[in-house]
Amino acid sequence: MQDYIQICRENNLTHECSEYTVTDGENWASRVDKVYRVSDDTFDLGDIKTYGKITAEKLEKVKWQLSIYAYMFERLNKKAKVGRLFVIHLRNKQKKDGSWDHISNIIFVNRIPSEICEELLATDLLENNLSTHLEYRMSTRLRRQKSVSLFRPRPKWKRD
């Protein structure tokens, strides 16, 4: 807890709320770990991570996660802007050898533009809808047939 308080002080973070639900109102919803007020209309979004090492791959995933949160936050709060996005990395766990794995830092990430986040979500929905549609078509087609042959022998005239 002390590490979190220190990070907030060092980075001038004014806590607004925790576990803030963001949604597009139709298909997507998630919770932002931390929302911090910067001004009357600007907010920073933070994600708390407590696992060991944050790899480049994990950081890229968090970048997408927070960027999508920012996109949805601004859609829900029309007059609000999202400023900084960051991970608050906290860990204080004893290792098997008796030493402590102590991590306390903040990692800022660059925001992916809202237009790209919107396209990603739309594409995912389109692919899921297409996949569901194709699965339905295939299942009804398979039910109409008694058996399906996945291998068809070549006609005799095409054999070598």
The domain segmentation of the chain, as residue ranges, is: 2-111, 113-144
Q: Please give the mean pLDDT across all residues of the chain.
A: 83
pLDDT of residue 102: 84
| Residue 64 neighbours by CB under 8 Å, 6+ apart | 112, 117, 120
pLDDT of residue 139: 52
pLDDT at 24 over 80: yes
pLDDT of residue 55: 92
The arithmetic mean of pLDDT across residues 39-57, rounded, is 94
CB 31 within 8 A of CB 69: no
Of 40-49, 63-72, 94-103, 107-116, the poorest mean pLDDT is in: 94-103
Tell which wins on pLDDT, 45 or 124: 45
pLDDT of residue 34: 97
- What is the side-by-side strand order in the sheet with 100-109? 14-23, 29-37, 42-49, 81-94, 100-109
CATH architecture of the domain with residue range 2-111: 3-Layer(aba) Sandwich (3.40)
- Quick one: pLDDT band at residue 138, thresholds 50, 70, 90? low
The arithmetic mean of pLDDT across residues 123-134, rounded, is 65
| % of the chain beyond a pLDDT of 70 | 79
pLDDT of residue 7: 94
Please give the single-letter amino acid code of residue 85.
L
